[in-house]
Amino acid sequence: MAASEKPERKSVLLRLDPAVHAALSAWASDELRSVNAQIEVVLRQALKKNGRLPKEAKPIPKRGRPTKS
């Protein structure tokens, strides 16, 4: 793989109770994230809390406009 190529992110089918999805969607909206991004944040927090976040896990990519330098 060339240095400029990024590894492909994994897709996962997730079945959720509609009430859980609605709560997750509202939470994501409050934090200006997509539901997908919110799920990743919550999963990473749980992995870190339990000492299971892999060291090679890259940070979540920042979205939006680049900061002014």
Query: What are the residue ranges spanned by the domains of the chain?
Result: 18-49
Q: In this predicted structure, what is the pLDDT of residue 1? A: 52
pTM: predicted TM-score of the whole model, two decimal places: 0.77
Whole-number percent of the chain with pLDDT over 70: 93
For the chain, what percentages of helix, strand and coil (3-state, to nearest 5) are there?
40, 0, 60
Element spanning 44, H or E: helix 35-49
Q: In this predicted structure, what is the pLDDT of residue 23? A: 98
Residue spans of the chain under pLDDT 50: none
Which are the contacts of 53, defined by CB distance < 8 A and separation ≥ 6? Answer: 44, 47
Q: In this predicted structure, what is the pLDDT of residue 7? A: 72
Q: Which two tokens stand for residue 11?
A: 């897709």
Q: In this predicted structure, what is the pLDDT of residue 2? A: 60
Distance CA 31, CA 29 (A): 5
